[in-house]
Structure formats: structure tokens, C-alpha cells
Structure 1
Amino acid sequence: MNDSSRMEELSEVVTELIEFSNWCYDNNEGNYSEVKAKQNKFIRGKRKTDRKSSIIIDNLHFGWNYNQNNAGKKLWAKGYVNTGYTNIAYDRSNENDKKLVFSVKKEIKKIIHLPSDKPITSEIKEIVETFWNYQDKKEMNPKETDVKGYLQALSDKLIKSKNLILRGAPGTGKTFLANEIAADVVSNGRTTQINELSEDEKSRIGFVQFHPSYDYTDFVEGLRPTTSDDGVVSFTLKDGSFKSFVEKAKKTKKVNGQDNFEEAWAKFFDAVTEASIEGEGYNKLKTLTGKPVRNLLAYERNEIQGVYPAKTTTYMNHDQIYNVYRGLPGTPKGGFDAYRKAIVKHLEEEFGLKNYTASTVDSTNNQNYVFIIDEINRGEISKIFGELFFSIDPGYRGHKEGVYTQYANLHENPEEKFYIPNNVYIIGTMNDIDRSVDTFDFAMRRRFTFLEIKAEDSAQNMLTQEKTKKLMMRLNEAIVAKEKGGLSTDYQIGAI
């Protein structure tokens, strides 16, 4: 593509982004309009990553986004088009100082302040020209390692395969890379740094490390000892690390509900706890008939909070009272629900509890989730995954292809099948020096894409000093040199 064509095309995209932003401020109080967006040629939605965008100019994919302003009440504070890490932004976070900004990996390279109310054609072309000049300079200097490009290639491989294993010698940065890939995927290309993720994005990354004693009950589900409110020990079915992570990824977004139980309960429990410590107990609660409930005490067992009148076994925990708040029986048999209803009424009168309104489902969860399994080959992988080896197959993702788990007969609904949704991605890491890929049975092996992280990859992408790179490469050459013992590449060292 010639220079004038790519200048014209990118200018057209940036112009549309700016005009759409201006329209939203001038005609829609700064809020997004789906109807207006559908009339656009390029910017036909709130956001789209460069990976999923159909805007391709000179072999570069361009995405777009609009950041929020005023704590999310208004959109369009800063709109931008990007290639994953290069941004052309229309920054109107300060309406008295609008500007066009070109940045690379969040480092500002050029700012054009806009004296007029809206950008003019020459200003748009100037920022677009800066972008293409940067691209040309980068391509002319092959010594500049494009680490972001390297990571994006790995992220793309994960997105395509669903299950990826990074294998190689110790110290080649496999776990480090896995975390960077995970950050890239959950943030939709915004960052590769874990510490730059929002709390919500961080919660969408799971991590475990396999070892010889790790088993199915740790990973999927199993029976765990628990102590009831009256001190009786029993076994309860609990989800393992992976299953609980997957269930979180399945959750749908709920809207239009009203539920402030946690806030009211926290205040109530604190008050009962304080009274339990300082005196004979909490004495402000009354039954539904108006009879005082004396000496109410607080307790906490198995991470579940509860209350009970002193010298009784009338234990009422958080979950049971929450059930009653939502119009359900506190327990399957409903015992002591009159007390629980009295507590709900007390929370309404004294601690600001609002009437419960059930939320409605807005949409399925389409956010990306990444589960990292470190040292995946150190565990008995077939025993750990069990029947889930079927579910992790990219061709069998989704609720239509579920499986019965080993403890399905203990579920509330024994006929319910477990499945892994399409928005869950798995990254494994392994040192070949410990146990090789050959230790995987074929059924498991074919469900993962294996990618070798070589020592030279580690040097090129993690070291900045040429002298250090050369020293590391010479050392690794000596490790595999036949005249010096001839160890395999599994014994080479990485940069970390």
C-alpha cells in the first residue's frame, strides 16, 4: 500500500471516531448511542480489540475503544484507535484542552493541542503521519525486539487453541510468560503486566502448581471435613480450584436487582460481636410477636458467621438468614425460620436493609478467563483431570458437551453435567528436565498445543544488554557441546 492511501484510510478512521465522540457529547449528553453507532462505517460499537477488528490498513489491524469519565457516568472522555500497543487518542478528559495524542506502550510520543472546538483535517493528518513514521522507523530497525509482538503471537496461539503448554529448560521464563499472556488476554490487549490489571481482571486469572500429591479432589471436586454449627464433624462436597474457577467464568451478568444484605449483615454482626465481648450479649432483637430475644451471641465457624441466643442450640448463620431474606426456607426443613425472619425484620428497622428484588439476567459472560497450571507435568495429569480431559477439548467446549463428574450423584441435581465454557483458556508450564512430554498419555497430549520456549528466546526477549545475551548463549552452547559432555538442551539455562 502506498503512503497516500494508508494516510487517507487511517485519517478516515480517526475522523469517524472523533465525529462520533463529538456527536455523543453534542446530542446525547456524552452517552453511547447504539443506533448512531450502526450508522458508522468503521466505529460500529463501544469497543473492539485489534485482534477482532475488521479494520486492516497496510497489514495492521486497528481496534478502538472509548474510556469512561466521571466515574463511569459518561463515556467518550478519550477515544482511540490502536494496534494493540500504539494509540492515536482523541483526549477530551479536559474539555478546555482537547488534544490528539500518539503513544506507544502508554509512553506519549506526540501531543497536538486543539485550539479550535473540534480537530481540523490538518491536525488529524499530522497525528496520523506521526503514527506511520513510527511504524516505518520500527520496521527499518530489525535490532529493536518487538516484545509486544512476540507476546501477542503467543496470546493469539492461546486464543486459537484454548489450551497451551509452554515447555523448555529451567529459567526460560515460562511462568513469567504465562502471566504476561494471561494479562494480555483478560485485558483484551490493553496490558501484559499483572500489576496494571484492574481488580476484576486479576480475578479472572487463576493459578495452581501441580505436584505429586495433587489430585482430582484438589482440582475438580471432593469431600472435605466440615464442622456444623453444633460441633458435629461431617463430610461436604466442595469444588476444587479449577471447577470453582470455571463456575465463576460461567456466571451471567445480572442487572436491575436490589440486595444490600451483605452491608446490613456486616453492621449487625459487628454489633452482636461487640456486645458478646463487652457484656452478656446483644439485647435489641425481638421476635415477630414482640418478645425480647436476650443475650444474642456471635460465632464464626468454617468461615461462616452466625448468631444464637446464649444457653441454646438455636444457631442461625449468615447463609440461612440470607435465604429467608430472599423468600426461601433458611434450611430445607425450615426450622427456626421464625427467628430468622425476626432478624431480617430487625436488619430492616435498625441497619438499613432494603426489600429484596431479584436481579434479571442481562447476558452471558463473554469476558476472558485464564487458568495457569505451573509445573503441569509434575502431577499425574490424567488422574487430576479425570473425565475433564473430554471437556477441555476445544471441540467439546460449551454446555451441550458436558460430562458427569465423579461425585455427580452428590450434587443437588445429579443429572447436571459439568462443562467448560469457551471463555476459559488454560496455560500450562513444564520443565522438560523434570519429566518430558512423553509422560502425558496421548488422549491428554492431543488436547494441548505445545510450544517450546528455547534459551535463545529467553535471551532475546528478556535481556537488554548484548554482552549478557552473548555470555548466556556461550554458556548454553558449552552445555550441549559434545566434546564437553553433550547434555541435551533440557539442561540449558534461561534468563530468569
Structure 2
Amino acid sequence: MIDKVHLETVLEKYKQDFATTQWTDEKYKWEAVKCFQDNWEVNSVDFASMLTNSLAKTENLLASMNFLPSNMIKEFAVRAPEEVRAMFIALFDENEEVFERIEAFKTQSAILLEKYGEGAKQHYQNENAISTYLWLRYPDKYYIYKFGEMKTVAHELSSDYRFKKGAYADNIRNSILLYNEICNELHKDKELVDLLEKHLTPSCYPDPELKTLTIDVGFYISRYYSKKDLISDDSWIPVEYSPEISMEKWIELLNDKEIFTPSSLEIMKRFKDYGGMATCTQLETKYGENKNFYNSGSVSLARRIAEKTGCPHRKDDHENLRWWPILYVGRQASKDDQGSFVWKLRDELAVALDKVDLSKVALYATPPDGKDIHGYWWLNANPKIWSFSDIAVGEEQSYTLYNDNGNKRRIFQNFLDAKAGDQIIGYESNPIKKIVALGKVVAEQDGEKIYFEKIEGLSVPIDYQTLKECPELERMEYFRNPQGSLFKLTNGEFDFIMDLIREENPVAAKDHVEAYGKNDFLKEVYMPENRYDTLVAVLKNKQNIILQGPPGVGKTFAAKRLAYSIIGEKDDTRIEFVQFHQSYSYEDFMMGYKPVEDKFELKFGIFYRFCQKAANQPNKEFFFIIDEINRGNLSKIFGELLMLLERDYRGAKVTLAYNGMSFFVPKNLYIIGMMNTADRSLAMIDYALRRRFSFFELEPGFDSDGFLRYRDSLDEETLNELLARVKELNKEISLDKSLGKGFCIGHSYFCGQNEFSEEWLESVVKFEILPMLSEYWFDDPNKLQRWESLLLGVFQ
């Protein structure tokens, strides 16, 4: 459900801005649909040209700034037209579920990127882009999906639909339901429909179902309306109206069970408990139920009161606006209020509520039938005494019910109420002031202690100020009186905090992954079996290894597959990849202050977050892969981590300078670095780091069983002859005193081809190998000329 009253307010502003700015700036959306509809023909002989023409007017949607999905999909269509044609046929197949089609399109795009990306790191075919294709094809059914926009619109209109990072399937389904609701309301606004029809031109899609108009309204809410501070003063409305019900009459009504039903009394009690003034969102978070329970319940109650008493009510065209002023005065919510409208109990009603017995009325909503009933707690740790960061995941910890002087802990009843299975938000107080962990109660108090277990450390802790600025949490027990250790959370408060946590610490949904072992590695990475066994043994012994070797031996390719083979499956959630460069810093790697709008915030780096992730699953191996490790200033990047990298110090904790928290490198984390031995512009890594890594030389694998099988599968004499020449070249490079075996030519230059062509092979020689030789022998043109003749002579 959405707040239809507030949507009406939004639409009034939208209509005011439509002719002056909105249509001028956003007309291209209707033109983009018309262009696509006029040009799309999936069976076109020249598919690539047809696709280019169809997407000709989507620049602002698919090709703006660094967002390049149309460029990439058009390039793929040139390189592989039939594959891309099949992708669009599958995407537009309405017999399949929409999210599955989107996922399939993304998967196929990733495959095309590997085949035809030519070094590109991204195919850009994300949910936003793919939903745009769907909308262009079926403009009377679909909308453009954009996570941030959907989340803002849902929040602004107090929608029940939730949008969470990483929950792609639910987000897409909820976006369609949310925009369908908005679209239904647009159809009722004749003034807006007439306004659109007046501005449509022959170059525009007529938009009979108003789906494109709905997209534009959502964009307007997200980009403009949500950023306005709608409140110019604190006046309450309506000022000219009163239901003319005295306090004594309210008491009489409150005792009338036909008027004030149990749910009506619950609404009143919760308003009163919250201080007499709240948004529906705040009540939902604090006491349970959903926003519509409070919204619709209040309107229904007011109607019954009007029928019973004959009191005057407002003559408003909108149903809700006639009735809620009987119970409340209200105002639009400001940016500091969570929700869209603030309701305040009428003074006479508020006084009457103090004079009736509400002790048997439920303050908190009961969980639905079949749902486990658990308690939720905020556990406050003082790092000077103990810290969540010092506890390993899965480790149990006790907390005494009495302090050192034998006195009861503050809010002692909370320690008695906590039960096994209750969920815990782990917070660390001064000087850290962040949520850093999640836990659960494993055993209730035994008269002396309560026992809990840490179940997850947060890769990105949640700052106190972030929580404090959330109006939904303003009545949280900890914020009302922070003196103590264990504080009660309502179901709504816990869910709200968990939403904040999961936005920054998403749990990756693990799909079925393919098994991968030693034999799979040897099929793909051209390395002798005994060398593989040695490599695995060295890595497991040292836990840090650098794969070094000349260009083209497949260091990066081998690193990831080495990780797969040890994990036992192709689980990318347990692998992280980063590339060092001269500007890379500790702030990027671990943590540092970064500008955010008009201030600086502490941001956690990729290695910090990955270590926390590994620590949360101590029984599984995790791999951190660093490409071009010797390109970075390693002392600057690693800082105080140098000691922690050593195997003997894994699990040892240090206090970080930036935030005062404990940190350790988990024992189940392996680090794999790659280093190009042929790059003379780079210095060798310093000795302090060198002794913490083992070094493993990757050599050209022309004689490995795997490469020989690959060569034989192509069965091409030209290739065989060229490979023989390259092996001779490598011998000469190895014997060259100014070069050595670290400058040899690797086998990967000749890999990755399912079908052989001399054009491809000759281009490898001309544009990859010979330019490298010209660098090697820039001072010996005769040697360069000789090898150029030998290598190109293969093709004569």
C-alpha cells in the first residue's frame, strides 16, 4: 500500500512543474519508446544495425556518463549477432518469470564479455539496463527499475514494499507492484492525463497505459520532490476545523466497545505511549503491525465516531481527508521525520486517554501465528573492559548480572527476561560508538550470568550517529536512557536496524556452484601435476604466496583457479580481487576518511571488509588475490598489517589507529599476489614484505600435458611450427644476460581459441610478441630483425 493522500500532494507539485521543466527535460522517454517500437524487428537480417537504430534515442537512459550498456550490447551484436538476438528473444519471452529472464540476460552478457570484451571489465547489463529493454519492448506493461529511485519513492509514499541491497528478485517484483499502485492513481487524475495528452507529439509514444508517465513521476519524486523540505513552519492543520467533542464525551466513546474496538484502542494507546504525536512509520517500527493498520484503522474509527455523534466533518473530495481530523491534527513530515505525515492527538482526546484504563490493551503487536517468538536485545560493550572484536565468531561469552560491587546491573529485569535464541545487536560504546557484531543468547541467566554467542562480525560497522538520526528509533530504550548494558528492542526496531546493517553488510545469496578440483585445474592451467602439488603445499604452509613469471604464463588465470581447486568449487563469494597501482593507499586497502557531501566519513577498505567476511566463516577457506602486487607502495598500503600477515601471527589482534577497534587477519584467509618479472620499470618488493611471502615461479607451459592436448586438438601445422620457433626464442631469452628466463614468452598468447585461424595467429605475433621483443632488444636491432624474420616466416 502507498500513502495516496501524500501522492496527491506530490502530483499537484508535479503538474505545476510539468509544462515548465519536466516535459522539456524528460520528453525523450516517450520518444525513446516510439523509436524502439518503430525500428525493432527481432528477425532482421542485419540484427546489429537494427538494434542500433532501435536504441538510437536512449542516450540518457543507456549511454550517459560512465553508464555504457547500450554501447556494450551494440558491440556484442556486431561481434556475435546471433547470440545477442537469442538473448533478446529469451528476454522478451513472456512465458517465463521476469526476474529469471533478467538473470539469464546478465549471465549471457558475462559470457560475451569474456569472449569479446577485449579487456573490458564490465558489460553494464544490470537490472536497470535490462528492465529498460523490457520497457522499450512492452511499454504498456513494464517500468524502468533503478534501486535508489525505487527505495526513495517507497519511502516518500510510506509504501509497505521494501527494497534491500542484494535482494534483486524481491526488489524487481516489488518495484512492479509499487509502480502499479502509483499508475492506478494516475489514471484517476483526469487533469494530469489531459496534461500529458496535450503535450504528446507524433514523435512520442502515446502511452495509453501511463506506464512511462509513472516512470517519470517516480523519477520526479526521487530526483526533486524528496529533496525538498516541505515544512515552512510547525503549524498544525486543519486550523479552521474542530469535531466539537469534549473530553467527557471522548471518555464515554472510549468506553463504548462498538466504537473503540480492540484494534482502535491499540492505536490510541500506542500514540499516547509515543508521546501523542507520531507518523505511521514510527508506530510500525516501535510497536509492530504495518502503516496501513494505523492509517486505515484511524479513518475507520473516525467514521464510526461521526456516525455515533453526528459531529461535523470536513467536506473534502478525498475520503481520508474528511475523517482523520476528527482524531488528530497533522502536518507534512519534514526531512527529519520518518514517514510522510505526522499525526498529533487532539488535546481533548489525549486528556481522555489518561483517564481510562488501558492496562489490558496490548502495547506491542503479537507475532503472526506460526512465527517463532524471540526477544531482541541491544547489548552494550565497553571496549575498556571487553570488546566484541576480541570474540571470535562462534565463541560464547558470559555477562554477569551483578557488577564488581555486587549490585544489580541497570535494567535488571532485562537480564531476567532474555531467553535462549533471542537475537542480539552488538554495540561498542566510547570511543568506538558503533554496532560491530550480531549475536544470540545461548543460555538464559543462571542467577549469576547470562550467556551469548557472537554469530557475525560486521565488515562495515554502523555508526551511532546514523542510528540516532533515524526517527524510527527515537523511542528506543537505549536512546531514552543509555545507562546500562542490556536494552530491549522491539521487533520493528530490530528489523529496522537489521535493514541498516544489511544495506552495508549484504549477505550474498549463494546459488548452486560448480564443483572444482585438482583435475579441473590441470585441464585449464597448463602446469605439470607435480608443480601443482608443490604450489598448493607452499601456499598452505605459508598462507601468502606470490606467483611470479614472464608475461603470458597465465598468472591471474591460475590464481583464481588455484583458489577454486582448494575451495573445492567455483565459489566467487569466497574470493576477492584487487589490483595495486602507484596511487593505491592504506585508506583504499584498510580504512580511511573519505569526503561524503560536505564532510568526511570513515570508510572501510576492501581488505578490512574481506577479513571480516572470512572471520564470519572460520571453517571455510577465503582467498584475497592481488594483481600487480609490486606496482604499489607496499609499506604505505599494508601499514601495521605487515606483522599480521605472517602465519604465526594470524589471529593476533592489533588496535587500529583510525577507529580504536581490534583487528586481525583470520587464519582461514590466504593471500595470492601476482608479479610480472619482465616489467623493468618496477622495483622489487621490499624485504620486510618479501619474507612474509613465498615466491612461486610460473613458467611457459608449452610442454605440459594440458597444453599439448590443446595444441593437438587444433591440429594445425602452422601453429606447431610457430610454437617450435617460440620455444627456441625462449631459450635465447633465457641465455641473454640482460634478460633471463623471467622475460620468456608465455603460452597464454596462444590459448583460448576453439577454432584456429592464421589471421589470429599472425596478429598475435605482429601486435603482441614483436612489440615486446622490440622492448627487450631495443639496443640490438640485428637480433630483433632476425627473430622477426623467423617468426613471420612461419606464415610465408
Q: TM tier, shorter chain?
A: 0.3 to 0.5
TM-score by length of 1: 0.41
Determine which structure has greater relative contact order: mean sequence separation of CA pairs < 8 Å that are 6+ residues apart, divided by chain length. 1
TM-score by length of 2: 0.26
